[in-house]
Amino acid sequence: MSVEIKFVDAPLGHEIQGVDIAKGLSDADFRAIEEAYDRYGVIIIRGQKLSPQQQVEFSRRFGPLDRYVLDKYNMKDWPEVFIVSNIIENGKPIGLGDAGRYWHSDMWVTRNPSRGSMLHAIEVPHDDSGKPLGGTWFISMQAAYDALPEDLRSRIEGRTAVYSGKKYVDFRKSRTPVDPKTGQMSADDRAGMEEREKNIAPEISHAMVRIHPRTGRKCIYYSEGSIDRIEGYSREESEQILDALHRHIMQPQFLYRHTWKVGDIVMWDNCSCIHNAIGDFEWPQRRLMHRTTLGNPAPIFKESGVMETVEVRR
Ligand code: SIN
Task: Convert the pLDDT of each residue in 45-95 to its tens digit.
Answer: 999 999 999 999 999 999 999 988 778 899 999 999 999 999 999 988 899
pLDDT at site 302:
52
pLDDT at site 312:
36
pLDDT at site 298:
62
pLDDT at site 305:
42
d(CA 275, CA 255): 9
Give 106 Cα–ligand 1 centroid separation in angstroms. 9
d(CA 164, CA 197): 12
Task: With CA atoms as reference, report the closest residue to 72 among 166, 200, 184, 196.
Answer: 196
d(CA 13, CA 137): 10
Strand-strand pairing, 136-140 and 160-164: unpaired
pLDDT at site 311:
34
pLDDT at site 19:
96
Q: For a ligand 1 pocket test, name from 109, 114, 117 the mutation site with the most ligand atoms within 8 angstroms of its C-beta.
A: 117
Give 283 Cα–ligand 1 centroid separation in angstroms. 17
pLDDT at site 182:
82
pLDDT at site 306:
38
pLDDT at site 308:
35
pTM of the model: 0.91
d(CA 216, CA 140): 15
**Residue ranges of the chain with pLDDT lower than 70?**
1, 297-314
Closest residue by Cα to atom 1, ligand 1, is 100
* Residues within 6 Å of ligand 1 by CB: 84, 99-100, 106, 117, 119, 136, 275, 277, 289, 291
Going along the chain from its start, the domains and CATH numbers come out as: 4-297 (3.60.130.10)
pLDDT at site 144:
98
pLDDT at site 300:
62
